[in-house]
Structure 1
Amino acid sequence: MSNLTRTQEKELKEAFDIFDRDHSGSISARELKAVFKNLEISASDQDIKNAMKQMDINNDGEISFSEFSRVMEAQFYRKYTHEEIRAAFDHFDKDKSGYISADELRMTLSKMGKTFRKDEVDKMIKSIDKDGDGRISINEFMDLLN
């Protein structure tokens, strides 16, 4: 039984759908590698193989949503180190301004295979942006993850 809220389950399904690029209902090693590449995350074939082995419980060579959920659910309750948060933030902050702009967020999401309208991205920024300056600072990003 899952301890996730409906919102968390929905977010997890949205993340799964980003990885499941062919909409087959499962994630293949090829799809996992493509997502990592699009996110500019260096992952060797062995890294992909290890990730697949960790998540593919029934050893069918694909990651189902239930397998993905089992592994990712723990991430909702995990506390991230400052270094992990900084690395994730820096991945979004392409111009190294110290802030994530709406354009940077939209560009990164697009690389992940998700296209959002400007108003949708603006809504995401607004939900995280505590000081109302229209962008996400490292502190606002940290609040989101912890």
Structure 2
Amino acid sequence: MAIINNHRLQFYYTKLQFRSLFRLQHPEFLIMGDGSTKCSVPTNKLEAQVLEAILQRESKGTSIKSINMIILKFPKIDESLRKCKVIFEQFDEDKSGAIDLKELKHCFEKLQVKFTNEEINEIFKTCDLNDDMGISFNEFIVLLCLVYLLKNDHAASQSNSRMGIPDLEATFETVVESFVFLDSNKDGHVSKNEMIRAIEETKQSDGLTAMKRFEEMDWDKNGMVNFKEFLFAFTRWVGIEDDDED
């Protein structure tokens, strides 16, 4: 019979006590298998919808099997996202370099994307990262990808296009698949440990690289990365910046 080390037994006992106490004091949080905590309650209706859409998508799995597969797709993704600049400039009607709320509504009308005024306002607020009442090019890419994810309905699947821009939508699907791959436990968030495991499996990068990449994504520093945070980081990884030259 194996002898259990008393120090290890005490460690697990203390850990169990901590988890029980934490659940009682913070019922809005989940304690994950790796000991990290994740907020179980989205802060607004849009976040809840995005999380639900991600969880549904994760149940279908992903064709991406490694970080290297994602990296190899970077050039094609970069090229596709840069073509989005044409759409951005088309709806930046006053040529201010940003899309305001009124212009965004015109954009949705043109793309035949149907949302209520409340939903449009929430999408705008969520993607206006620096709260300057304007959507920059980088933010616009994130916004369109969120719309793509949320518009995963029956009508769209029948027409093979959700927004009338199939080439760009194919790129968004690759981005979604990349997130699904990284979120190995399929809980709708990418944890630090998940990022480290994914990068270390390549045997070409170490844990420090993984930590750096995770910190680039986790801009609210809560120890977990949701899909929106991932999108903002992903656009930078492939080389898209707001101040890029045409």
TM-score bracket for this pair, using the shorter chain length: 0.3 to 0.5
TM-score (norm 2): 0.30
TM-score by length of structure 1 reads 0.46
Larger Rg: 1 or 2? 2
